[in-house]
Structure 1
């Protein structure tokens, strides 16, 4: 997962707050029709303040929303199964590509076309890398 490094705009913060508030409602109300009713009320609260042009007032509203979300957060929020914290997170680990380099030659012999193409692509990648970034200095490799 990439860590955001740029400046987060006010509108992005509001969208994030809205989405987290919706997920919080989803955790509290498991009956779909009640959740939808609460979601419409939540959307109405956001729509009432969408045209606030004063940055100080807009920031105050955002901070108040963050505080309210913190105070009303569910004690056991729902998590998607494959998301961090979910019941199936990293259950099926996909092995990295370099594992194939450690196959025994007899195993590689069962798939000759694949490994021939793979070696060719590795050479093309090294050539592309050296063209873009230059060859590594041998003196720097020993440190």
Structure 2
């Protein structure tokens, strides 16, 4: 869930995000037809952003940002290009990573092929168990009803 916003964004970061979104929108419109036209339009878009990069009046800068976001919304593509593994892509969460416990059932000869990794893994497992016991206490040996 790294794509969820969890903190306030600065004006500069919003402008960078707007620039990236506008380039992706241009890519949706031009990339599949003509790569050269897309690059030309991307250079023009960069020039539009560079015209106002030294704006010191914060009210005017905010208005430019809002106008840019409005224009991006109005010119958005009906089927935007998505990376296959990204949220909204055709292969998003298609394969899940194997569970960590699977490494515990490896044969010792298999583990011997990666001695440093499994030594570090054992240290991390002990740290995790200690942190768990510190936060939640030790598990009861008997289950009482």
Relative to the length of structure 1, the TM-score reads 0.76
Residues 59 and 120 of structure 1: CA distance in aligned 2, closer, same or farther (over 3 Å): closer
Instruction: Give 5+ residue unaligned stretches, structure 1.
Output: 102-107
In 1: Cα distance, 2:128 partner to 2:137 partner: 18
Output aligned runs, 1:2-81, within 5 Å: 2=2, 3-30=4-31, 31-81=34-84
Relative to the length of structure 2, the TM-score reads 0.75
Residues 120 and 40 of structure 1: CA distance in aligned 2, closer, same or farther (over 3 Å): closer
Instruction: Give 5+ residue unaligned stretches, structure 2.
Output: 112-117, 139-143
Residues 51 and 99 of structure 1: CA distance in aligned 2, closer, same or farther (over 3 Å): same
Q: How many residues align?
A: 130
Q: Which runs of 4+ in 1 moved over 6 A?
A: none
Cα RMSD over matched residues? Answer: 2.9
